[in-house]
Structure 1
Amino acid sequence: MDRGRRLSCDSSSGPIAPINFATDKFPFCIVWTPIPVLTWFFPFIGHMGIAMSTGVIRDFAGPYFVSEDNMGFGRPTRYLQLDPAFVNGGVVEWDECVSKASVVYGTRMHNLFCDNCHSHVGMALSLMKYKQYTNWNMVVLAFWMFLTGKHVGLMGFLKTWTPFTIVLITCTLVAIYLK
């Protein structure tokens, strides 16, 4: 796993701390966790947050509220570690942009379909111009996480996929029985 992985970037702040799964510290990561019932039926839909350089997670957890280090739907089960070298200004700019997006989303009403946790992460990445891209949005982020996100160990995998698998098997058995 990536337990001891360190990224390098041109920054005067020194080495970047590794991910610490035990304490839920995910430096420079987008993190994801399932939303009960919704993710059981649609496994690509979940709750998303973005971490500061220190690993502290920020997530738009509800109307007018950005949570810090306590995700709205539980501990992360998936993550994408990004490279701050793709941000002009490096670590400092990363943290400033995550903070700016969090301040903005602390003043917004939450909307499941239009302005949600994915939008918060998208704004942070757009502000920092991650990989020179300024149009990060919930659709791009949802697919990126679904297709390339890593699970936080076996328990993260099970928490993500077990409910969906149970629903799928149940629906299949009911369909066979009713046939």
Structure 2
Amino acid sequence: MILLMWVNSCIEAINQKVEKPTNCPRPHGWRLTQNRRSFTVPSNIHCTCSGPAFINHSQITPENATVGHTGALSLMDLEPAYKMESIRAVQDIQHEFWPLDEIDPENAKFPCCLVWTPLPVVSWLAPFIGHVGICTEDGSAVAFSGSNFINVDDFVLGSVAKYLQLDRKQCCFLRNLAGHTCKHGYKHSEFGSATTWDDAIQSSVRHFEHKSYNLFTCNSYSFLANCLNRLCFGGSMDWNMINVGVLLLFKGHWVDNISILRSFSPFILVVCFGIFMVGWPFLVALLSFSLLLLAWFVFGTYCLKNLFDS
């Protein structure tokens, strides 16, 4: 009897030593692991009890479920972070471009550039009009030069006089249906998007290779506008003959001084000869011709969109 009382007192003493403190937030019945994913005790939950770790999962919030006693991230927290980093890595890869070669006018290489050269006869009377093209990533010029004729790596109407290199980062290159970086998602896909710079040029070539060339409605500026719309350059799909011409006129760079002389000397000679032969009325007539030509392009571009191809 005495031995039995002694055993009971020992058991009660042991139970008192391992009793969980009343302020412990880890009630028994909640295991530390669930679905084979490790949960860690939040750093702002203080526990003084010993023994197996238990936790009430209702106390875990996004604010306190990040770091445990060991300062380590749980697997549940690591997975979303890993997915976000993977998405960012893929986006970085998608927007990385191969480095371009240097612009080399001597070999007629202008990577990712818009190029311009004077147009015979027309540029003699209106020097702001010329023949334009777009260059591939390796610098080869591509231009719509005549009916059913797209010339590649040969600016058939003369060497490049003015160029403007464009930043490929300002283009929208589509990787998938949800991969638009521009605001014209559906419109861009319907018009014809591109995955690379050269892909946009090839699509425009296929679009224009069976078209008839017309100086007043479908010309090299139309081809260039079509390419820029496929690239959605600058986040815009409203490129046309007018804003393409203005872009090259005011932002283009002359290749050299010889190019400037070659572009304007015929016009100056025509003006001088006309004034000498006819007088000042020739200058008025020439100015009127230039204004009428400009008015036609503006009117046709913005009022007769179905007639002008771009």
Matches within 5 A, 1:49-68: 49-68=133-152
- TM-score for both structures, normalised by structure 1: 0.87
1:163 to 250, 254, 266: 266
AA aligned opposite 1:113: F
Q: Secondary structure at the match of 1:18?
A: coil
- 1:42-83 CA-to-partner distances (Å, cap 9, x unmatched) read 001110000011101100010011100111311111111111
Q: Secondary structure at the match of 1:119?
A: helix
Higher relative contact order by CA 8 Å / sep ≥ 6: 1 or 2?
Answer: 1
Matches within 5 A, 1:1-179: 10-13=95-98, 15-89=99-173, 93-174=196-277, 175=279
Q: Which has the larger radius of gyration?
A: 2
User: How far off its partner does 1:12 sit?
Assistant: 4.4
Q: Secondary structure at the match of 2:228?
A: helix
Percent same amino acid at aligned positions? 29
Query: Normalized per residue, which structure has more strand?
Result: 1
- 1:88-118 CA-to-partner distances (Å, cap 9, x unmatched) read 2399521110111111111111111111110
Q: CA RMSD in A?
A: 2.0
- 1:118-140 CA-to-partner distances (Å, cap 9, x unmatched) read 00010000001001111211111
**Contact persistence 1:44–1:143 (CA under 8 A):** no
Work out the CA distance in 1 between the residues paired with 2:212 and 2:224.
15
AA aligned opposite 2:205: S
Work out the CA distance in 2 between the residues paired with 1:139 and 1:172.
30
AA aligned opposite 1:85: K
AA aligned opposite 2:115: V
Work out the CA distance in 1 between the residues paired with 2:133 and 2:146.
12
Work out the CA distance in 1 between the residues paired with 2:229 and 2:210.
18
- 1:8-41 CA-to-partner distances (Å, cap 9, x unmatched) read xx4242x211110001000111101111111011
AA aligned opposite 2:120: P
Work out the CA distance in 2 between the residues paired with 1:101 and 1:144.
20
Work out the CA distance in 2 between the residues paired with 1:144 and 1:36.
21
AA aligned opposite 2:228: L
Structure 2: state its 5+ residue gaps. 1-94, 175-193, 283-310
AA aligned opposite 2:112: F
Structure 1: state its 5+ residue gaps. 1-9
AA aligned opposite 1:142: G
Match of 1:4 in 2: none
User: What is the number of residues matched between the two proteins?
Assistant: 168
User: How far off its partner does 1:167 sit?
Assistant: 1.4
AA aligned opposite 1:95: D
